[in-house]
Amino acid sequence: MHLYMIRHGQSYVNLPDWSGTNWDQPLTELGRRQAAALAAWLPQRLPSVDTIYASTMARARETAAPLAEVYNMPISFEDRVREIGNNRYDHVPWSADEQPGRFADFWASERPFAPVMEEPKSETLMHFRARVGVFIEEIVAAHRGERVLVVCHGGVIEFAFDHIFNIGPW
């Protein structure tokens, strides 16, 4: 299997002055240009793919759409590759109404069993790592010998590498 993990283009949550509480934001104009540039560039280096997965978050969906168009294939949307803090501990995505507004102070201490968001039902780093790891194991088993794109988020890519190479801190 050849696994290509792609981080979404620039989103409003990536802007330094963003201060909203709904973390599921679309791409900025620059992000849309980045997605279009990727869709023009990638097929020159990777002429065909067998499957495209994407996070269900808007910024990843919008980045994946031009790729699906140029490769002429559907996108399989996957909640397990949503960014950290955007699912509850049971791996169910937060609705827009229940999304916690702030990340907890765990970022300073990186406590693996502390909730990521200021909400008791929030996933922990260990929940996140398990969610990403199970996804990776399942697609490796399901797509032997295939080329697979996964359009997702920086945290997902980091924890996928941690899982694949067993280099995580825990």
Tens-place pLDDT, residues 19-58: 666 678 899 999 999 999 999 999 999 999 999 999 999 9
In the predicted structure, residue 135 carries a pLDDT above the cut 60: yes
HEC assignment per residue over 41-55: HHHHHCCCCCEEEEE
Which pLDDT score is estimated for 55?
Answer: 97
CB distance 163 to 129 below 8 Å: yes
- pLDDT given for residue 120 in this prediction: 59
Reported as a single tens digit per residue, the pLDDT across 81-125 is 998 755 444 545 546 555 545 444 444 445 555 555 555 566 777
- pLDDT of 137 reads 97
pLDDT for residue 24 = 81
Q: CA 147 → CA 24, 53, 114, 160, distances in Å?
A: 28, 11, 36, 17
Rounded to whole angstroms, what are the CA distances from 107 to 3, 40, 84, 170?
29, 37, 12, 15
Q: Sheet of 75-78: strands edge to edge?
A: 2-7, 147-152, 51-55, 75-78
pTM for this model (two decimals): 0.83
Q: What is the CATH topology of the domain spanning 2-14+23-165?
A: Rossmann fold (3.40.50)
Structure tokens at 118: 């200021």
Report whether pLDDT(13) > 90: no
Q: What's the rounded Cα separation, in Å, for the pair 76 and 107?
A: 31
Cα angle at 116 between 31 and 53, to 5 degrees? 45
**Consecutive H or E run containing 78:** strand 75-78
pLDDT of residue 104: 44
